[in-house]
Amino acid sequence: MVHRFAAFSRREAFLAKWVRNFLLRRLLQSVVLLLVVVTAIFFLIHLTPGGPEAALANNPRTSPEEIARLRERFGLTDPLPVQYLRWLTNAAHLDFGRSYFYSRPAIEVVTERLGPTVQLGVMSYIVALLGVPLGLLAAMNRGKLGDGLIRLLTTLGHAMPTWWFGLTLIVVLNSLIGWFPNGQGSGGPWQWFIYIIFPAMVLGLAALVTFTRFVRSEVLEVLNQDYVRTAHAKGLPMPFVTTAHVMRNALLPVVTLLGYVLPTVLSGALITEYVFAWPGIGRLFYEAAVARDYPILLAILTMTTMATIIGTLIADVAYGVVDPRVRYA
Amino acid sequence: MAQGSLVAPSPSAAFEAEQQPARRTTSRGFWSSAWRRFRRDRVSLIALGVLLLIVIVSAAAPLIAGHILHTDPAQFMRTPAGRIATLQPPSTAFPLGTDDVGRDVLTRLLYAGQVSLAVGFLVAMVSLGIGAPMGLMAGYFGGWVDDLINAVVQFMINIPALFVLIVLSIFLTPNVVQLALIFGLFFWPGTARQVRGVVLSARNRDYVDAARVMGAGNRRIMVRHILPNVASVAIVVAGLDMAAAILAESSLSFLGFGVPVPLASWGNMLSVSQEMFRSAPWLVYPPGGMIFITVLCVFLVSDGLRDALDPQLAR
């Protein structure tokens, strides 16, 4: 008993040490990455001819005096390194400056739009998770009609441009029932649901394809393992082998995928929100890009970079925790 | 039981081995046998045919537009009454209709194909041009070179590409070639990863050791012994990159930050307000459909190539 406990805690200690070292290294990498991306974008904005106020200057109605006043107000008259350091220290406190367009703190505008994007993202993950049973179904019927159909659908889904799927859905819905989801539904839960489900389908498609393919190949690999053959050989009933041996081993790595597809979901959200006029940060980013509203652009860029980093980080840690072989590599 | 393989081949195997040279006088090379395998795959072959057709038709866009349709991609079409024909539904005069400013959709679709395909191809080439040497070096040398390249790859993968691409597009206002170069910068890490994996497994083969024992230098081993292993993977990855690049370009162009506007690409043909599509649904299907078919064909051809080039994988 004592002996077993000792072995157990040793393993735990090893795992904890691995997670700590790994996290520490990746955290360092992440900080560097964030700094480089944000710095590059900052200088790109400020070194281009015209600078951040180019959009204002293009407007014939703004007089030179007014531009000078605005430059003063947004702190654009200081030397570039000063602006950069000020921007960086402020950004560390999540203060990205005032939006040129909304004349309010950028972070305030962005957080207001965060809710709808999170809703859409969670919903699209639910759609994407349908890929798990699909992949399982395909693998269990390998080479048969069901497998062929599912593989055909994933191939088609993979080749479908996200934005075009959305547009086609809108046009088809409009011609069929004279209605299509535009913006976020207000009112009861049903209203909310019918407005979110179509964008969520469009956004979730790419991840759904990824999940289906991943689960299919995972299950096929597990089905070839000796312990599955042993389970069959000793006469265990098929459903038991499927749930206790195949699914347990094949589906665990799926957890890691949740993090890996986050960048895809974020990029997809930008397009989907644009197509469906969904009031999230993707749409806000598009609007800010058109209006050249740099504080907003930088705020969203910083946040999405952070989200991407955290997503892959969680995925990598989960992968090491789930599959011990990764830790030794 | 395992010793069975060490025993001399069975009489029938020896007989076959003797018979073989007599049956086939010239040995088939790697590429010709790969082509034979590819040809057997009906789906890939059809996909290749469709893809070639799309390429040829796009390349011949000026001929088709000039001699058959008598149109120009920048020309505003007119109705018989002499007015500018905006938002005309498909008819015999305009097979796919006209857009909101009166340009012929079919003509623009043909010209757009040139741009979209060229961008896809260029991105794949840039990705291969940077990614393959990087992966080769990382996998072959290992150590700090591997760590460095891995760090850069890890770094690039963590960048939210579409967001950064939009910002880059605002400030650099790239033309088509520059756009492809920028895309390539975001695509090569994937290629490098794949190539590195192949190199890692090829590096420790016996023939590499043999070459080294015979005095071959690093460069010779890399080019003569490892590169041929990489070639098949590189071709497949380039195909997948091309498909992904066509999709990415269409997304960016659709948002209005990709291929600059007077020039048509399959993505930017639809970068107008969605309100319009309620009254003109015919505008929606052709460009997206072309992307869909093209990307699908590139995927299928790449899949077929993978199976054909890697006999061990073939099931």
In the DSSP assignment, the letter for residue A277 is: T
Nearest by CB: B158 against A167, A170, A312: A312
Q: List CB contacts (< 8 A) between B157 and chain A.
A: 263, 312
Question: Do A274 and B295 count as a contact with CB atoms less than 8 A apart?
Answer: no
Q: A145-173: buried (b, 16+ CB within 10 Å) or exposed (e) per residue?
A: eebeebeeebbebbbbbbbbbbbbbbbee
Confidence class for position B314, pLDDT limits 50, 70, 90 = very low
- Residue B192 included in any domain: yes
Mean pLDDT of A198-207: 90
Question: Alpha carbon of B249 to those of A266, B20, B187, B260, B285: distances in Å?
Answer: 17, 51, 12, 11, 18
- Residue B199 included in any domain: yes
In the DSSP assignment, the letter for residue B65 is: I
Q: How many CB pairs under 8 A join A and B?
A: 126
Residue B20 has pLDDT above 60, yes or no: no
Q: List CB contacts (< 8 A) between B161 and chain A.
A: 263, 267
pLDDT at B2: 41
**Where residue B271 sits, what CATH number does that domain have?**
1.10.3720.10
- Residue B107 included in any domain: yes
Residue A298 has pLDDT above 70, yes or no: yes
pLDDT at B34: 79
Residue of B nearest to A37 (CA): B159
Residue B216 has pLDDT above 60, yes or no: yes
- Residue B218: phi and psi, rounded to 5, are -55, -45
pLDDT at A200: 92
Residue B10 has pLDDT above 70, yes or no: no
Looking at the complex, does the CB of residue B270 fall below 8 Å from at least one CB of chain A?
yes
- Residue B32 included in any domain: no
Q: What is the largest CA-CA distance in chain A?
A: 87
Confidence class for position A122, pLDDT limits 50, 70, 90 = very high
Closest alpha carbon to A249 in A231, A229, A213, A225? A225
Q: How far apart are CA A229 and CA A232, in angstroms?
A: 5
Q: List CB contacts (< 8 A) between A301 and chain B.
A: 160, 163-164, 167
Question: Do B164 and A168 count as a contact with CB atoms less than 8 A apart?
Answer: no
pLDDT at B78: 65
Of B274, B295, B313, which to mutate for an interface test with A (greatest number of A Cβ within 10 Å)? B274
The sign of the dihedral angle between the CA atoms of A42, A45, A49, A54 is: negative
Question: Do B158 and A44 count as a contact with CB atoms less than 8 A apart?
Answer: no
Looking at the complex, does the CB of residue B295 fall below 8 Å from at least one CB of chain A?
yes
Question: Do A271 and B162 count as a contact with CB atoms less than 8 A apart?
Answer: yes
Highest mean pLDDT among A4-8, A130-134, A175-179: A130-134
Model confidence over B67-93: pLDDT tens digits?
666 667 666 666 666 666 666 777 766
Query: Among A69-83, A270-284, B31-45, B216-230, which stretch is predicted with the lowest mean pLDDT?
Result: A69-83
Model confidence over B199-209: pLDDT tens digits?
888 888 888 88
Residue of B nearest to A44 (CA): B171
Mean pLDDT of B24-42: 74
- Residue B268 included in any domain: yes
Looking at the complex, does the CB of residue B263 fall below 8 Å from at least one CB of chain A?
no
pLDDT at A18: 76
Q: Which residue has the higher pLDDT, A116 or B312?
A: A116
Q: How far apart are CA B189 and CA B170, in angstroms?
A: 24
Mean pLDDT of A66-81: 72
Residue B36 has pLDDT above 90, yes or no: no
Mind telling me how many Å the CA of A49 is from chain B's nearest CA? 9
Of B50, B54, B163, B299, which to mutate for an interface test with A (greatest number of A Cβ within 10 Å)? B163
Mean pLDDT over the full length of chain B: 79
Mean pLDDT of B190-198: 88
Closest alpha carbon to A180 in A189, A171, A188? A171
DSSP for A59-100 reads STTS-HHHHHHHHHHTT-SS-HHHHHHHHHHHHHTT---B-T
- Residue B252 included in any domain: yes
Neighbouring CB atoms inside 10 A of B106's CB total 18
Q: Which residue has the higher pLDDT, A253 or A4?
A: A253
- Residue B21: phi and psi, rounded to 5, are -60, -35
Residue A289 has pLDDT above 80, yes or no: yes
pLDDT at B26: 61
Mean pLDDT of B102-118: 83
Question: Do B158 and A30 count as a contact with CB atoms less than 8 A apart?
Answer: yes
Mind telling me how many Å the CA of B158 is from chain A's nearest CA? 6
Asked if A315 contacts A304 with a C-beta cutoff of 8 angstroms, the reply is: no
Model confidence over A228-241: pLDDT tens digits?
888 888 888 888 88
List the domain range (segments joined by +) for residue B233: 53-76+95-313
pLDDT at B140: 86
Residue B5 has pLDDT above 50, yes or no: no
Looking at the complex, does the CB of residue B254 fall below 8 Å from at least one CB of chain A?
yes
| ipTM reported for the complex surpasses 0.85 | no
Mind telling me how many Å the CA of A285 is from chain B's nearest CA? 8
Query: Among A191-200, A229-238, B2-11, which stretch is predicted with the lowest mean pLDDT?
Result: B2-11
pLDDT at B6: 43
Helices of type H across chain A: 2-47, 54-58, 64-73, 80-92, 106-129, 131-140, 145-159, 162-177, 189-223, 226-233, 238-240, 248-251, 254-260, 262-275, 281-291, 294-322, 324-328
Model confidence over B247-275: pLDDT tens digits?
988 888 888 888 877 788 888 887 766 66
Q: List CB contacts (< 8 A) between B254 and chain A.
A: 161, 163-164, 271
Asked if A248 contacts A300 with a C-beta cutoff of 8 angstroms, the reply is: no
- Residue B41 included in any domain: no
Exposed, middle or buried by CB within 10 Å (0-12, 13-18, 19+), for B233? buried
Question: Do A162 and B299 count as a contact with CB atoms less than 8 A apart?
Answer: no
Confidence class for position B283, pLDDT limits 50, 70, 90 = confident
pLDDT at A48: 65
pLDDT at B7: 44
Residue A176 has pLDDT above 80, yes or no: yes
Confidence class for position A74, pLDDT limits 50, 70, 90 = low
Question: Alpha carbon of A253 to those of A41, A118, A210, A213, B77: distances in Å?
Answer: 35, 24, 13, 13, 57
Q: Please compute, for residue A96, the number of CA atoms within 13 A of its CA located in the half-sphere on the CB side.
A: 24
Residue A41 has pLDDT above 50, yes or no: yes
- Residue B132 included in any domain: yes
Amino acid identity, residue B144? W
Question: Do A37 and B159 count as a contact with CB atoms less than 8 A apart?
Answer: yes
Confidence class for position B4, pLDDT limits 50, 70, 90 = very low
Residue of A nearest to B269 (CA): A164
Mind telling me how many Å the CA of B3 is from chain A's nearest CA? 22
The answer for residues whose C-beta is within 8 angstroms of residue B239's C-beta and 6 or more apart is B124, B298, B299, B301, B302, B305
Residue of A nearest to B282 (CA): A171
Instruction: Tell me which residues of chain B, numbers 211 to 250, contact chain A at a CB-CB cutoff of 8 Å.
Output: 243, 247, 250
Domain count, chain B: 1
Q: List CB contacts (< 8 A) between B300 and chain A.
A: 155
